[in-house]
Homo-oligomer: A and B are copies of this chain.
Amino acid sequence: MTPRINLITLGVADIARARGFYDRLGLKASPAGNDSVVFFDANGIVLALFSHAALAEDAHIEATPPPSFRGMSLAWNVSSEAETDSIYNHALACGARAVKAPQKVFWGGYSGYFADPDGHLWEVAYNPFFPISADGHIQLP
């Protein structure tokens, strides 16, 4: 079976705070969630919010404090520089922390980074080499 990513879980310190941010950003929470876990459909992939400590416990890992850099980022790809700016500004207005203002980047695209209230890193990017399909997915060459 070909590997796939169905769901991403972000460990958070406060479910209500994290959910508030993603609600404002525009995601719709599934009724399958509760006070301990929230599920959003992020266009075919599920974004889950779960307590940082509970995620570690579920994986049988020691729950070390969240690092300042996790070595991982999520990207929301869009179709223009203007759209990149617009979404980046929307994220900041929703309570994201500014990490890198959108700008032209060495690989020929245009991107910025913000962090959610728990420091999870998001990139907003316009990549002219990766067209976006009508249903919002990257068309990889």
Contacts and interface: CB of A to CB of B under 8 A. Distances in A.
Interface string A1-35: 11111111111000000000010011110111000
Contacts of A9: 72-73, 75, 123
Copies of this protein chain in the complex: 2
A77 B9 CA distance: 13
A20 to B, nearest CB: 14
A103 B7 CA distance: 19
Contact of A72 (B28, B72, B111, B125): B72
B7 A77 contact: yes
Contacts of A64: 67-69
Contact of A140 (B4, B30, B63): B30
Interface in A67-91: 67-78, 83, 87
Interface of A: 1-11, 22, 25-28, 30-32, 39, 41-47, 52, 55-56, 58-64, 66-78, 83, 87, 99-100, 105, 111, 113, 118, 120-121, 123, 125, 129-130, 132, 136-138, 140-141
